[in-house]
Amino acid sequence: MSLNQLVSDLRAAVLFCTRLPIPNAATITGADIARAGWAFPIAGAIVGLIAAGVYWLAGLAGLPPLPAAAVTVAMTLIATGCLHEDGLADLADACGGHTRERRLEIMRDSRIGTYGACALSMSLLLRTAALASIAAPVVAAPVLVAAHMAARGSMPLFMWLVPPARGDGLSAGVGRPTPASTLAATLLGVIALFLGLGPAAGLCAIVLLAAALALLAWLCIRQFGGQTGDVLGAVEQLGEISVLLVAAAYLR
pLDDT digits (tens, 9 = 90+) for 4-37: 778 888 888 998 899 998 887 777 777 778 888 9
In a domain, 169, yes or no: yes
The mean of the pLDDT values for the chain is 92
Q: What total number of domains does the chain contain?
A: 1
Tens digits of residue pLDDT in 171-206: 666 778 889 999 999 999 999 999 999 999 999 999
In a domain, 212, yes or no: yes
**This prediction's pTM:** 0.94
In a domain, 97, yes or no: yes
In a domain, 21, yes or no: no
In a domain, 16, yes or no: no
In a domain, 39, yes or no: yes
In a domain, 106, yes or no: yes
**Interacting residues of 221 by C-beta distance below 8 A, sequence separation 6+:** 162
Contact yes or no for 13/43 (Cβ under 8 A):
yes
**Domain residues for 184?**
35-251
- Residue 153: pLDDT over 90: yes
Contact yes or no for 220/183 (Cβ under 8 A):
no
